[in-house]
């Protein structure tokens, strides 16, 4: 029995070079906007102050000349990355604290096993 496969994959070699160039430029611009939004969020958190009077969405829209859809998508992805990073950082701190708590127990056990037993005669 034959199976029918359907794919929406686009190959650059089969598309007009103008469309490929425009798509590549749009993707690069989107990623630049996302990186700018993420860095802005990181700096605002680090310095504990707002860097812009307007919302981040409007700043990204003006700086990169994007429409609402792309600017909003870039800011939302940057927010998702930032919140994920904060959660991972909390988990890392908890794991490190647990490892630090376990270190004295391990040291005591090692000292007991390696120290020669001295008996009084």
CB atoms within 10 A of CB 78: 22
Cβ atoms of 62 and 99 closer than 8 Å: no
- Domain borders along the chain are 14-84
Output the pLDDT for position 116.
Answer: 63
- Of residues 121 and 23, the one with the higher pLDDT is 23
In the chain, the percentage of residues whose pLDDT exceeds 70 is 91
The pTM assigned to this predicted structure is 0.73
Output the pLDDT for position 113.
Answer: 76
pLDDT > 60? residue 121: no
Per-residue confidence band for 70, with pLDDT thresholds at 50, 70 and 90: very high
Cβ atoms of 71 and 30 closer than 8 Å: no
The residue with tokens 């190959």 is 11
Helices 17-47 & 68-114 angle (0-180, nearest 10): 60
Q: What does each C-alpha distance from 105 to 72, 81, 94, 109, 116 come to in angstroms?
A: 51, 37, 18, 6, 19
pLDDT > 80? residue 65: yes
């Amino acid at each position: 029995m034959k199976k029918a496969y359907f794919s929406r994959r686009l190959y650059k070699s089969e598309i007009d070079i103008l469309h490929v160039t425009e798509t590549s430029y749009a993707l690069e611009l989107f990623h630049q906007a996302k990186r700018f939004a993420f860095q802005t969020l990181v700096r605002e958190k680090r310095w504990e102050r707002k860097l812009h009077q307007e919302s981040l969405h409007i700043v990204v829209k003006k700086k990169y000349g994007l429409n609402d859809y792309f600017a909003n998508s870039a800011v939302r992805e940057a927010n998702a990355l930032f919140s994920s990073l904060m959660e991972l950082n909390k988990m890392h701190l908890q794991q490190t604290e647990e490892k630090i708590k376990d270190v004295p127990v391990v040291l005591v056990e090692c000292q007991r096993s390696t120290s020669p037993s001295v008996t009084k005669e």
